[in-house]
Structure 1
Amino acid sequence: MAGLPVSPAGSRRRGRAPWGAWRFVVTFGVVSALMDVVYEGGRSVAHSLTALVLTSLALQLISGAALLYGRGTRRKWGR
């Protein structure tokens, strides 16, 4: 142990930034990128779902109107 330099407790190396700051920046970037992927994916699916809901609503209205029309003609013709 006689030739090793002794540094005071708690001292940091000078000239280099600590790795903790880089880790924070990289983690923040990854989280931001993942949030953007989820957001854009949700936006692209939302339009398709809206079209699907409107299509199913139109089909329900048309089939309901046909059912009511069929019942009306059935009563009229006595079947």
Structure 2
Amino acid sequence: MLFHITQSHAPADCPYGAGGSRSLFDGDHPNVTIRGYWLAFPQHTTYLVVETDDIAHLQAFLRPGAAVTTCQITPVSDRPVAAPG
């Protein structure tokens, strides 16, 4: 399943110069594949599309930033909903 993640942090918690925004998630997690990764540096926000089959894997993927970030997680798909009937 695909998930769109919006991960934000306060300017005081910015990892710039101390590991960068990739330090706020586990990019090497064996059960989560990053399909897309974008930054909005002035807003202190990272956007990701990831693929995983278990919410526990997603939680572990996000654990490195849990103390300093807020995440919005939305399941997404590239397939439209079937027409009724």
Coarse TM-score class (shorter-chain normalised): under 0.3
Where relative contact order (Cα < 8 A, 6+ residues apart) is larger, the structure is: 2
Q: TM-score, normalised by structure 2?
A: 0.16
Higher strand share: 2
Query: Which has a greater percent of helix?
Result: 1
Query: TM-score w.r.t. structure 1 length?
Result: 0.17
- Indicate the structure (1 or 2) with the bigger Cα radius of gyration: 1
